[in-house]
Structure 1
């Protein structure tokens, strides 16, 4: 009898976990019924991404940090594999269905490169990029919970001023299309991966199984997002939209911004967030991370003992994350991952500038008193 009781005590809490699964399915079903099947599917994609990123510890800020501090390229290699898989589908698909789908295409310019550099530094300060901040907040991370609303405010402000910055100078938009574009993109990914392996410390050249699985899942979900939404996976626009809606609800006039007064953006601000494709996947990211954290029983994270300057830095960094990512036409997801995987040259420029910024951010984090704050 004692043995049976001991076994029962170590059994997983089936009822709470079944409740979590049921709640997720209910959310997807309700959104599909109220807003349409498309948005229910996108919420499912977002939940899947959030569960994958949190459950398999797949991210964008951490791998850059690992390469800088330990010359461990595994996480970056997994990102490149996922991008290559998406590109293999997305670039030919966009060429054949250009009237139905759009890629994450943007020009390279002074503001774009500078924004990516600042974003790379800022994401190392709070240990989270756009998707990482959403996932960390969903999992109950206190630093991310503080940074997230300021990220949204920064994204809104960056969009408000976007055209002033782009007027400083940009190159023509360059997109690698068709079979030649795919070949060049894959060759570029192989070249970058080869350099990472060459620079790697001994014993770090093997990609863990969880990262292989995560790369496959993220790639599959990103392709699903493209098929359902008609556009690649993105994060930053949705966060700025949340602030724009809050500002207009408070009586703010956004007509002074060329970005927010554009007809398409005026329409999105006036409509429900549950019919904005980026917002729905962002909500899914938060929800998916919450599900994994609750499943593990790890939601109760205590407030870290950080100096006042660390909390001030978190607020400022949140604003910089949002503002800089808007100038850079996206974060690691919308610019680097989706940009390269849909053939945009700016994705490569973002990667180079963002990694350079990460080097600066890694050095800055201890000085701000944030080391050990997660």
Structure 2
């Protein structure tokens, strides 16, 4: 389908949401469209940024992500400090976080996408990511079924820097830590390229910088409109949970996760009322609009590669629930809103990524 008729369909759906659901949900769908268009248009991939840092000693992707975090924190933390009705993306430091973050970082390289990456690439019609998406949703749902057990292994109360220190100190500490990480990344890549005799690669590329600015603005709008930070994974798990409930495959009323009041209520509502789901639908639409009329280019996979990718997608979803989010919900939203669990998530996921890249190379993916 070409862009113009697709734009008309998206506009009609937006109008229908505005008329029959709510102004807020229509606004979140529009924000999702923007997020999907930016992610696909700039090919702003969290997974890719980490991969080119490790394999090509190129810092531009990670520096773009650090700029995104800094800009988002600079906008989100003052809002959280002045408007207590807004919530941060808090997750408890726990055994489940440690295991989930490592496994997620490993699997996202094999499946070639984190939560947002899988979503926007599926919207673009890339076959592997399109197939991985439902596996991701099933895995996220399975993770939610077992989350209570994982938390019983050991968990602390969530720690939010904004509520603990105030937004000014929280922001200063966050920006300082991000600057230190950026300096370390630059020193590492320059040293590695110098030792290998390679030409120094540009530190800043337009696609990463522009993507960071636009995503930070859209994520801040999402925080204001939704009352909570941008997330992806919860929507996937909810979709699978609703299917399990609708088909009678499982009674979720006694499950620790789905019996909690907020989650139980969402099971009985349309997904169009869930803020994460409606944004995810928008991301699919925005990515589809960017790719409209263009054939999806992707490497053909062997049977073994397909099996590996689908299993990785299932485990990716499971681990994302244990880790309280993906690169968006745990890393981006966690760090930018002052949650300690976001800072714990990053190094463990990065270590997992190193192992995931080895597996990816082993299977030629």
Aligned mates of 2:271, 2:124 — CA distance in 1: 22
5+ residue gaps, structure 2, are 194-198
Aligned-pair distance for 1:38? 0.4
Q: 1:257 to 1:210 in 2, by over 3 A?
A: same
1:204 aligns with one of 201, 211, 217: 201
Q: TM-score, normalised by structure 2?
A: 0.93
Runs of 4+ more than 3 Å apart: 299-302
Indicate the structure (1 or 2) with the bigger Cα radius of gyration. Answer: 1
Where does residue 194 of structure 1 map in the other structure?
183
Any conservation in 2 of the 1:197–1:205 contact (CA below 8 Å)?
no
1:316 aligns with one of 311, 314, 332: 311
Q: CA offsets, 1:55-102, max 9 Å, x none?
A: 01111000000001011111111111111111112112112211x211
2:323 aligns with one of 321, 328, 331: 328
Where does residue 85 of structure 1 map in the other structure?
71
Aligned mates of 1:227, 1:366 — CA distance in 2: 42
Any conservation in 2 of the 1:46–1:281 contact (CA below 8 Å)?
yes
Any conservation in 2 of the 1:142–1:301 contact (CA below 8 Å)?
no
Aligned mates of 1:356, 1:300 — CA distance in 2: 31
Aligned mates of 2:156, 2:273 — CA distance in 1: 33
Further displaced range: 171-180 or 144-153: 171-180
Provide the aligned C-alpha RMSD in A: 1.4
5+ residue gaps, structure 1, are 1-14
Further displaced range: 308-317 or 201-210: 201-210
Aligned mates of 2:159, 2:201 — CA distance in 1: 35
Q: CA offsets, 1:172-231, max 9 Å, x none?
A: 322211211111011011111110111113522421112211111000000000000000
Matched, 1:229 2:215: no
Matched, 1:341 2:336: yes
1:362 aligns with one of 320, 345, 357: 357
Where does residue 185 of structure 1 map in the other structure?
174
Q: TM-score, normalised by structure 1?
A: 0.91
Q: CA offsets, 1:154-175, max 9 Å, x none?
A: 0011011111101111233222
2:287 aligns with one of 265, 286, 289: 289
Aligned-pair distance for 1:306? 2.3
Where does residue 19 of structure 1 map in the other structure?
5
Q: CA offsets, 1:308-363, max 9 Å, x none?
A: 22111112111111100000000000000000000001111111111111111111
Any conservation in 2 of the 1:154–1:319 contact (CA below 8 Å)?
yes
Where does residue 61 of structure 1 map in the other structure?
47
